[in-house]
Amino acid sequence: MLDASRAAQGRALNTSGNGLDYQAANASKWGDQPFLDGIEGAARAEIEAVQEKMLLEQLAWIATRSDLVREIWAKAGVDPLSITSLADFKARAPFMDKDEIRAFRDRTGDPFGGVLCVPRDELTNIGSSSGTTGDSTIFAERWERGYEGPFTPREYWMLGLRPGDYVLEMSTVMRGVGHRISRAAGAIPLMLNHDPNETEAAVELIQKYRPTLFFHLSSPVIYGLERLEREKGVDMVDLFSSFRACVYGGEPIGPRMQQTLDRWGVKVFQFSSLGDSGTIWECDAHDGFHAWEDVGLVEVLKPGTDEPVPDGEGGELVVTALHNKTDPLIRYRSGDFVRHTRVPCACGRTHVRLTPLGRLGDEVVVNGVSVLPRDVWTAVEQVEESSAGLFQIIRPQRELTELKLRVGYEGQPADMDDVARRVADEVEARVGVRPTIELTPNSELIKLGPPHKIPRVSKV
């Protein structure tokens, strides 16, 4: 079980930046079993018993330590120590969201937004989000403890990574440093920038080391690989043949990109965020993303309410960190819209599965018509010059009278007006709204965001 508080004795790190006790505990699990941790396939009652115990411990921990939680709960008239069960928590606990963290930070000057629960001198690393929607959110880590970062060795094991394997890491330096988790899993990272211009180096490393895991693919990296295939004739089917899993994240996969990945024989496994308290991952069954329920307590609620939506339906993802004791978020409204089910997966795992449907804040309403980035995506991919699917919706506010799109193109089209017209035709046919198109070279559009994703919505 992933419980940070139980690994506190180990005060020293190994060379890879992992606690010695933690690394030893990981290594003791390496064997032939399909699940790294038994709890992955536990019965629902057992999962909930574990959750309840961890939740009550967490509430006792944060009650005197988290300034923001204390403030929010006092305002709601609820004492964290008065919560007696999971059901009681779901009935009475107040919510928090990113705006409240930012407001606390701006009001008090506390860069951690009031959620830090340990003295600053206990921290090892201070990471942050990409900050595409304002000042980055800060995440603190203590590396002497069991893994409190967004990943765990559990999902890497699920994807087929085994000790001694190589991992191609085309990655970013953002929330901590990702190679720690590969090392915790006993694997050897091959480290490159997450950049379409690094794909040639990636091809060399893949051909030499035959890595088994690729972390991670994104639309910009696939754009770079397509260019290599086209211009240098790289055999992508052979290139991807050593991988048991290629992780894709940052944003959804568009239909044309999916066709490309299928043509290359890429075994794609998507991941996404668990409300800033962890990550969620696809397994072999590709039927939703597993959320580890001993990492976070997952609720899926009707947006703006505290009403749970029925199993199988969509709502806002709300997460309470159970494992993280450093800067836990409690009943955090993520702004992510997900479908969920607690029906056991075909892979045998029993934890809740989530299917990301989009960001609540990404929707625009144009003269009463709702438009989401995924609606535009398919249309943009249909036009040859913009088939990489790189675009942004210009969203100065939610309600608009005109849909404006910034669309990336490849090459040097002879007639730009014609390209814009064809993109507009495709969007109108699929979305029902005729957009205004601003064309930008793909290479320029990629520069507007973090390396692993294009911000699909831009204020300007």
Partner 1 sequence: MTAALSKVPALDPDAPEALWAVGGAAVADGFVEYPLSNRDVEADAAWAERQLAALGVGKGSLVDFIHNYRECGHFWPYYVAAYRLGAPAMNGMATPWDVSRTEMYARRFDLALVMGVAAETVEGLISFGHEPSKVLDQAACVAARGTAVASLAAGGREPHALTLFGPMILISAPDETGAAYDASQWTVEADEAGRLLVSAKADRAARYDRLDTGFTGRVEDGRVHLDPR
Burial of 180 (0-12, 13-18, 19+ CB in 10 A): buried
- Is 188 a binding residue for partner 1 by CB under 8 A? The answer is yes
Q: Which is nearer to partner 1, 171 or 392 (CB)?
A: 171
Query: Interaction with partner 1 in 420-459: which residues (CB under 8 A)?
Result: 447-451
Q: Which is nearer to partner 1, 127 or 432 (CB)?
A: 127
Query: Interaction with partner 1 in 14-33: which residues (CB under 8 A)?
Result: 14-17, 23, 27
Binding-site member from 39, 174, 291, 420 for partner 1 (CB under 8 A): 174
Closest distance to partner 1 from the beta carbon of 148 (Å): 14
Return the residue matching tokens 């330096």. Answer: 173
Residue 59: strand, helix, or coil: helix
Instruction: Give alpha helix (H) positions in 170-294.
Output: 179-184, 199-209, 219-232, 236-239, 255-264
Q: Which is nearer to partner 1, 138 or 420 (CB)?
A: 138
Binding-site member from 128, 133, 242, 258 for partner 1 (CB under 8 A): 128
Q: Which residues contact 418 (CB under 8 A, 6 or more apart)?
A: none
Q: Which residues contact 136 (CB under 8 A, 6 or more apart)?
A: 128, 129, 130
Token pair listed for 132: 């595409």
Stretch in the footprint of partner 1 (CB under 8 A) among 57-65, 81-89, 203-211, 275-283: 203-211
Contacts with partner 1, 62-101, as mask; x by CB under 8 A = ----------------------------------------
Tell me which residue of 192, 336, 349, 356 sits closest to 271, measured CA to CA: 356
Q: Which is nearer to partner 1, 192 or 357 (CB)?
A: 192
Structure-derived torsion over alpha carbons of residues 373, 424, 446, 452, reported in degrees to the nearest 10: 20
CA atoms within 13 A on the CB side of 59: 22
Closest distance to partner 1 from the beta carbon of 228 (Å): 15
Q: Which is nearer to partner 1, 128 or 273 (CB)?
A: 128
Find the helix packing angle between 255-264 and 219-232, rounded to 10°: 50
How many residues contact partner 1, by CB under 8 A?
A: 54
What is the DSSP secondary structure assignment for residue 330, as one 8-state letter? S
Q: Which is nearer to partner 1, 86 or 191 (CB)?
A: 191
Contacting positions for partner 1 (CB under 8 A): 13-17, 23, 27, 111, 120-121, 123-128, 131, 135-136, 138, 143, 163-164, 169-174, 177-179, 182-183, 186-194, 198, 201, 204-205, 208-209, 447-451
